[in-house]
Amino acid sequence: MSLSQNIMTALKEAMKSKNTVALTALRAVKSAILLAQTESGAKEELTEEQELKILQKQVKQRKDSAAIFVEQGREDLAAPELAEAEVIAQFLPEAMTEEEVAKVVEEMIAKTGAEGMKDMGKVMGMVNKAVAGRADGKTISTIVKAKLA
């Protein structure tokens, strides 16, 4: 079953159980996926990699919003955002630890022969493909900078 189908199934379950938090989050994800499909003019389904990127973006948006709300002392608005992020994160593959990401970064640096910060883009691209949705860009970037510096 594809990721889109899993999301639709979960959406139906959320409707039946009247889970408003899950319903809101899943509708937003469905909307983002449909928008991406129509944006590219593609008649076929999105690839799993594209769907994962959309899910990561949705989770990141909610976490960023929650952080801003907490910063402004609005915990009442932050809680639903974090709850929605948790619902969406269920569909993402298990995240890699920083040690696992560091190991992949070291492999890619060795493979490309990167020697300094000028090669960061090349290494980042290869690492992003290798971890495919199991680590966020900020973590990868931090580790790559540390290894290349």
- Which of 44-48, 135-139, 140-144 is most confident? 140-144
73 CB neighbour count, 10 Å cutoff: 9
How many C-alpha atoms does 65 have within 13 Å on its Cβ side? 16
Q: What span, in angstroms and rounded, lies between the C-alpha atoms of 142 and 93?
A: 21
pLDDT over threshold 70, residue 1: no
> In this predicted model, what pLDDT tens digit does every residue of 78-103 receive, in sequence order?
999 999 999 999 988 888 888 888 88
> In this predicted model, what pLDDT tens digit does every residue of 97-133 receive, in sequence order?
888 888 888 888 888 887 878 888 888 888 888 887 7
> In this predicted model, what pLDDT tens digit does every residue of 43-73 receive, in sequence order?
667 888 888 888 989 999 999 999 999 999 9
User: Residue 126 contacts by C-beta under 8 Å, 6 or more apart in sequence?
Assistant: 108, 111, 112
